[in-house]
Structure 1
């Protein structure tokens, strides 16, 4: 089969490779589409020691199951693999499983014509949802989970809160969509890339702004969701959040400084980390997509697998929309 291999720091190429082999409990999926995630970019930049080249990245995938209970059906892939038997898995917090793994991390991912994944991680698709939209289920599940954590900690409903999203990539725009779906009206996205800002306001009811040129007033946000996770965005979140407000940290770009913990303590700021999603969040994301959460698609570009290597370069150089999805066939 053909696959896009991450071959070294800022390097990738199409290669022919043997078809993957399934073991008991696993299913072959003929991949139709797979989105490029920020974590894939992080690996491509050589910043993720867990993803060792040469390897096939990619985990935001949809395709057709070859065998098993979903044979011949379109399925979305939940790429998060867990043990299924620990206290976290049994309580519904499977994303906290100590044995969690992700396809495209240690196990071959989905920038390929085929991928193998546990059959329990397959979700059949309703007729109303397109393959392209279904490829957004995984990143959308991240956003559903983050917004649910925010909702539980906010002192007022989302509909009455000023909400600021830091980062206008796919996670940022999908987070804004989930917030808007829950009634947010005073909704902002900080995005320094002019190309992305052009399409963000068309994607959903949000005010897109360049953080270097202004934006919401200091200490004015009930909720700040950091979809970047860098020192500069953590500092921005500390400056934007009002007394009694909430910061939800989604991005994983860089560890380190940026948080004003003295202010957090004196003004009772809630700071919550969030990672991945539960299986319930993934199912909820598919339901949102099925009922048409993603309307305007100008922020999404579908490219053939052959353009995968160049797509990583384009994202790196800031010459890409918020989301690129690779088509395998």
Structure 2
């Protein structure tokens, strides 16, 4: 099969690789659409030791099952494979499974390829009439859906009218639409790139602005969808007393949170990682029934042009929050 292989620092090669062979409890999926994630970019830039070259990246996939009793079924892929038996899994927090694996990280190759294999329990059926391109957004949207669900459940009061989301990438956009779908009425999305700000038009309840437009404002909820020192500092300063700060981004660094203010103002801070299997299914249901909007903030390119797509993202030339590659 053809695959886009990460071969070294800022190097990707479209080449022939061996077809994957499914284990007894796995299905072979022909990939129709696969998104480029920020974690793929981190690996591409040499910032992720967990993803050493050579490796097939990509974990935001959707396609059709090939062979077996579910042959031809259209599915979207939960790429997080967990044991199902440890205390975290049994308690419903399977995203914290100590032995979890994800495709695009050894020992599991990713979905920047014509085929990938996955356990049946990780596949969600996509209804007829719903595009597989949109279905491939289930993974990044589930990351934010999970964060918003945890955060709203944790709040000590009912003041959750306003939210600030930092970062107009896929995770930030997913956080904004998840906030609205879960009942927050007034969402502000901050994005420094003017090209992307001009592109984004998500919802009448979501205002997309430049960072300087929210200086001095405070919000009931802040979401850091980037995860750098500067964005943590901005999120920390923008959260009201008694409010909630959700940290999703994995950009890097270890500074930025105003611990004294967080303590004195009783601000709740929650770090969130991926999603539970139930969150993934709930996200899919919300996507399929239209609660998350049109999901039209993507750009598609051939997988064979994946290297150029990575370079364009790196250079800030892509208006859409998500590029979807098509094998």
TM-score tier (shorter): over 0.9
Q: CA deviation at 1:118?
A: 1.6
Deviations 1:74-131 (A, max 9, x none): 1111100111111111121110100011000111100000011122211111114211
SS in 2 for 1:251: coil
Unmatched tracts of structure 2, length 5 or more? none
SS in 1 for 2:176: helix
Query: Which residue number in structure 1 is paired with residue 267 of structure 2?
Result: 269
Give the Cα–Cα distance (whole angstroms) in 2 for the partners of residues 137 and 187 of structure 1.
Answer: 21
Any conservation in 1 of the 2:177–2:293 contact (CA below 8 Å)?
no
Query: Which residue number in structure 2 is paired with residue 222 of structure 1?
Result: 220
Query: Which residue number in structure 2 is paired with residue 81 of structure 1?
Result: 81
- Quote the RMSD (CA, aligned, Å): 1.5
Q: CA deviation at 1:294?
A: 4.8
SS in 1 for 2:109: coil
Aligned counterparts, 1:58-97, within 5 A: 58-97=58-97
Off by >6 Å, runs of 4+ in structure 1: none
Give the Cα–Cα distance (whole angstroms) in 2 for the partners of residues 105 and 137 of structure 1.
Answer: 19
Query: Which residue number in structure 1 is paired with residue 282 of structure 2?
Result: 284
Give the Cα–Cα distance (whole angstroms) in 2 for the partners of residues 300 and 216 of structure 1.
Answer: 29
Give the Cα–Cα distance (whole angstroms) in 1 for the partners of residues 259 and 38 of structure 2.
Answer: 27
Any conservation in 1 of the 2:287–2:293 contact (CA below 8 Å)?
no
Give the Cα–Cα distance (whole angstroms) in 1 for the partners of residues 262 and 231 of structure 2.
Answer: 16
Give the Cα–Cα distance (whole angstroms) in 1 for the partners of residues 197 and 291 of structure 2.
Answer: 20
Query: Which residue number in structure 2 is paired with residue 120 of structure 1?
Result: 121
SS in 1 for 2:200: helix
Any conservation in 2 of the 1:303–1:324 contact (CA below 8 Å)?
yes
Query: Which residue number in structure 1 is paired with residue 28 of structure 2?
Result: 28
Unmatched tracts of structure 1, length 5 or more? none
Aligned counterparts, 1:207-246, within 5 A: 207-211=207-211, 213-215=212-214, 217-218=216-217, 220-246=218-244
Aligned counterparts, 1:1-329, within 5 A: 1-106=1-106, 107-157=108-158, 160-202=160-202, 205-211=205-211, 213-215=212-214, 217-218=216-217, 220-296=218-294, 298-320=296-318, 321-328=320-327
Q: CA deviation at 1:185?
A: 2.5
Instruction: Give TM-score, length-normalised by structure 2.
Output: 0.95
Any conservation in 2 of the 1:75–1:123 contact (CA below 8 Å)?
yes
Any conservation in 2 of the 1:35–1:59 contact (CA below 8 Å)?
yes
Give the Cα–Cα distance (whole angstroms) in 2 for the partners of residues 293 and 6 of structure 1.
Answer: 36
User: CA distance change for structure 1 residues 295 and 152 in 2, over 3 Å: closer, same or farther?
Assistant: closer
Give the Cα–Cα distance (whole angstroms) in 1 for the partners of residues 24 and 11 of structure 2.
Answer: 34
Q: CA deviation at 1:155?
A: 4.0
Any conservation in 1 of the 2:181–2:292 contact (CA below 8 Å)?
no
Deviations 1:277-296 (A, max 9, x none): 00111101111111124544
Instruction: Give TM-score, length-normalised by structure 1.
Output: 0.95
Q: CA deviation at 1:322?
A: 0.7
SS in 2 for 1:246: strand
